[in-house]
Every structure is written in structure tokens, then in C-alpha cells.
Homo-oligomer: A and B are copies of this chain.
Amino acid sequence: MSVTTLPVVEAAAHDAEKCKIANDMLARVSEKWSMRVVLFLSTQSRRFSDIERGINGISQRMLTRTLRNLERDGLVTRTVTHTRPPRVDYELTEIGFSLKLSLSALGGWVQENEAAVRAARAAFDGRTRS
């Protein structure tokens, strides 16, 4: 029953359940590798090793965990082909793709304000280091 529990959504529709989901989604999206994976899958379906090679510096462990989380949230689908060697393909779902679109909007903000943020940081650091 707290007054301000929800970070993203504002006044409208402010129940506890949605707050939790909103927090979780924001957390998910910022989990260091999630966005890279979503972006990498945004154009086409990819198999595990393709993603691993396509995303620079991700470990096998983290790729697995990231994909599991995205799958759990219904953002990607996992398709296993039982051959030898086995083959697993990952693909963005419809809602996964819509999330990617929303995030691209945030990307727009970054493009417009990146210079200002960098300048602000430099000014702040110069001010406090003295």
C-alpha cells in the first residue's frame, strides 16, 4: 500500500503487482547481456553458438542464463532439434520484438543526449577532484 513503489509507470494504474513486474522487467533488460542478445536476435532466428560468437565477450554460462531468463519471460522461444550434434535455435517472440522497439526509443534518447551527459560528467569530476 505504499504511495510510491513503481519506478517506471507513473500515476495511472498503480497496483502492487504491476509495480513488481515493471521492476523485474527493468532489471531483466539491464542484466548486462540481455539487450545485446535481444538485439542480436532482432533480425533473425539464431542458434546458440552463433549468438555466442556474435556477441563479443559473453561467456557460455552467461549466455545460457540470459537466454533462460528471456525465455521464462516469454521474450524468446527455444527450439531444440535432436540431431547429433544437437542444435538449438532461439527466436524473438512478438512481445520480445515489441520490447526491442520500445528500447530503441530509449536508444534515441541516448543518441540525442550522450554528448550532454559526457560533458556533465567531465564537469562534475573536475569540480570534485580538486
Interface residues of A (CB under 8 A from B): 2-10, 12-13, 17-18, 21-22, 24-27, 29-30, 34-36, 38-40, 42, 54-57, 71-74, 95, 98-99, 102-114, 116-121, 123-125
Contact = CB atoms under 8 A, between A and B. Distances in A.
A5 B50 CA distance: 15
A82 to B, nearest CB: 18
Counted per complex, copies of this chain come to: 2
A103 B102 CA distance: 9
14 contacts: A2-B56, A3-B56, A4-B56, A6-B39, A7-B38, A8-B110, A12-B111, A21-B117, A26-B106, A73-B117, A74-B117, A95-B113, A95-B117, A105-B106
B107 A105 contact: no
A99 B109 contact: yes
Dominant SS at the A interface? Answer: helix
Contacts of A42: 10
A66 B110 CA distance: 20
B4 A72 contact: no
